[in-house]
């Protein structure tokens, strides 16, 4: 039977209504599900080489902006406050970024926040105070994560093998704010009944990824087959999903199945083709151009190409560098699974759609490893290049609202949208 590291959790309660300030019973706190690395996190402030103050939409509530305006602050900060907020289409405030994508409150000299330096962290928005925290609320359970787009999170994830083991930490958890958590609403569940079983599905797939009896690539492929089966139930009889999980849990550890999947021959044309589609002409590919140029070339039309021999030799070189921490890639994959709010990264897509997106994201991990190794022979430099690539790529993968649609459209365009194709992309 599948050895899942997390206790079974009850499913969505139809009587609970999730809203801005709710998602819990009247006289109880939330149940908190999280991992050890989440609790161990500490911001490294000005020492951070990839600060979180640029390149994304930074939201503030009206109350937070008013509190900032009413504070006792310098004339310099006052001018910034007056010029740095605008309303979004959803009538919430966002910071107007500088032409280079930097937050106007970010001091480039010491890489610290001007608001926090002058007034203290209590005057920051919930988003700024909480990043890199994210997560979801479903049936009174908060699944709390810290995003691997933060380099300090990356360091924690690869520090020790149990860093990404998931546990229930308490049944009376009261977060400082729930604005940073995405709730599964009644309407969400009406449109996608599979969301009723988000917590069981999370446990099931996370258990597959956490099983140390097989390599992470084989575990990912097992997940593709399970996702395909569960998606069929989701489309026909969603309330049979728990029954499907139970049946699959007895099947997926079959020695013959594991051997057949581990014996699959990689198809690098499929894998590298999918990776190129995800990188070419995207912000991720542009940000990582220097690192990626060590392993791929571009033709006169700007199309990228990778020599398979060069890729495989450098991937082997990278994995030899990982030998001192054999759990590193598994932990990165498990963290990415949590950060992407799996198994429903996007509630508008089904289980298989979301798992396909996850597979494509994981395919980038190997590619970044090979690219990092191709650019240097120094173990420390290889590691830093790999870390930079994973963190920078994880930002749009974890925070872009169109991320699932973007990758699914790519996979369909290149005709790589079946469990078999996903297995090749992963392998």
Structure tokens at 52: 């979180």
Contact 291, 388 (CB under 8 A): yes
Dist CA 209 CA 5 (whole Å): 10
Q: Residue 279 — pLDDT band, cuts 50, 70, 90?
A: confident
Q: What is the mean pLDDT of residues 114-138?
A: 89
* pLDDT at site 21: 40
Percentage of the chain modeled with pLDDT above 90: 57
Structure tokens at 171: 């049944």
Q: Residue 395 — pLDDT band, cuts 50, 70, 90?
A: confident
- Please tell me the total number of residues recorded for the chain in this structure: 427
* pLDDT at site 91: 81
* pLDDT at site 47: 77
Dist CA 343 CA 25 (whole Å): 25
pTM equals 0.85
Dist CA 168 CA 313 (whole Å): 42
Q: Residue 238 — pLDDT band, cuts 50, 70, 90?
A: very high
Of 44-53, 137-146, 215-224, least confident by mean pLDDT is 44-53
Determine the 3-state secondary structure of 224 from DSSP: helix
Dist CA 169 CA 8 (whole Å): 14
Q: What is the mean pLDDT of residues 117-123?
A: 90
pLDDT tens sequence across 85-103 = 999 887 889 999 998 888 9
* pLDDT at site 1: 27
C-alpha closest to that of 408 among 365, 349, 367, 322: 349
pLDDT tens sequence across 11-58 = 333 333 333 344 444 446 899 999 999 989 888 777 777 777 877 778
Of 82-86, 235-239, 285-289, least confident by mean pLDDT is 285-289
Contact 368, 285 (CB under 8 A): no
Of 34-38, 282-286, 405-409, least confident by mean pLDDT is 282-286
pLDDT tens sequence across 297-306 = 877 777 778 9
Q: Any idea what DSSP says for residue 47? A: G
* pLDDT at site 317: 96
Q: What is the mean pLDDT of residues 213-224?
A: 94
Q: Any idea what DSSP says for residue 389? A: H
More confident residue, 253 or 148: 148
Q: Residue 156 — pLDDT band, cuts 50, 70, 90?
A: very high
Strand arrangement, sheet containing 141-146: 166-173, 30-35, 141-146, 133-138, 182-183
pLDDT tens sequence across 329-388 = 999 999 999 999 999 999 999 999 999 999 999 999 999 999 999 999 999 999 999 999
Q: Any idea what DSSP says for residue 71? A: S
* pLDDT at site 131: 82
Of 141-145, 261-265, 377-381, least confident by mean pLDDT is 261-265
* pLDDT at site 28: 61
Determine the 3-state secondary structure of 363 from DSSP: helix
Contacts of 54 (CB under 8 A, 6+ apart): 97, 100, 101, 102, 103, 106
* pLDDT at site 157: 97
* pLDDT at site 9: 32
Structure tokens at 222: 């097992």
Determine the 3-state secondary structure of 106 from DSSP: strand
Region for residue 173 given its phi and psi (left: phi exceeds 0; alpha: psi -120 to 50; beta: otherwise) = beta
More confident residue, 122 or 57: 122
Contact 198, 343 (CB under 8 A): yes
Mean of the per-residue pLDDT values of the chain:
86
């Amino acid at each position: 039977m599948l050895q899942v590291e997390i206790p079974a959790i009850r499913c969505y309660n139809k009587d609970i209504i999730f809203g801005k300030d709710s998602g819990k019973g009247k006289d109880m706190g939330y149940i908190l599900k999280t991992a050890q690395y989440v609790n161990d996190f500490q911001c490294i402030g000005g020492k951070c080489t990839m600060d979180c103050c640029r390149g994304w939409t930074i939201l503030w509530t009206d109350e937070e902006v008013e509190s900032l305006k009413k504070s006792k602050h310098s004339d310099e900060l006052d001018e910034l406050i007056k010029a740095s907020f605008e309303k979004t289409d959803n009538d919430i405030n966002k910071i107007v970024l500088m032409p280079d994508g930097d937050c106007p409150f970010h001091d480039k000299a010491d890489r610290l926040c001007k608001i926090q330096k002058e007034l203290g962290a209590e005057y920051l928005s919930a988003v700024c105070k909480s990043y890199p925290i994210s997560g979801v609320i479903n049936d009174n359970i908060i699944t709390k994560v810290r995003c691997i787009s933060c380099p300090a999170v990356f360091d924690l994830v690869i520090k020790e093998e149990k860093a990404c083991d998931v546990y229930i930490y308490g049944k009376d958890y009261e977060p400082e704010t729930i604005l940073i958590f995405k709730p599964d609403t009644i309407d969400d569940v009406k449109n996608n009944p599979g969301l009723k079983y988000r917590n069981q599905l999370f446990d099931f797939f996370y258990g597959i990824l956490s099983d140390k009896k097989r390599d992470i690539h084989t575990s990912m492929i097992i997940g593709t087959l399970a996702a395909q089966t569960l998606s069929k139930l989701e489309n026909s009889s969603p309330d049979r999903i728990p029954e499907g999980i139970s049946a699959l849990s007895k099947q997926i550890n079959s020695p013959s199945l594991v051997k057949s999947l581990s014996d699959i021959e990689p198809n690098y044309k499929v894998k590298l083709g999918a990776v190129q589609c995800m990188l070419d002409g995207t912000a991720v590919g542009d940000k990582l151009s220097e690192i990626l140029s060590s392993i791929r070339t571009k033709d006169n039309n700007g199309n990228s190409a990778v020599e398979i021999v060069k890729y495989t030799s450098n991937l082997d070189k990278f994995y030899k560098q990982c030998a001192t921490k054999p759990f590193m890639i598994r932990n990165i994959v498990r963290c990415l699974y949590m950060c992407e709010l799996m198994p429903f990264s996007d509630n508008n897509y089904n289980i298989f759609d979301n798992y396909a997106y996850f597979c494509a994201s994981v395919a980038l991990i190997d590619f970044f490893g090979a690219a990092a190794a191709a650019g240097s022979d120094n173990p420390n430099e290889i590691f830093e290049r790999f870390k930079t690539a994973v963190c920078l790529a994880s930002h749009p993968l974890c925070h872009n609202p169109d991320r699932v649609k973007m990758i699914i459209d790519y996979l369909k365009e290149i005709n790589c949208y079946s469990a078999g194709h996903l297995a090749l992309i992963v392998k």
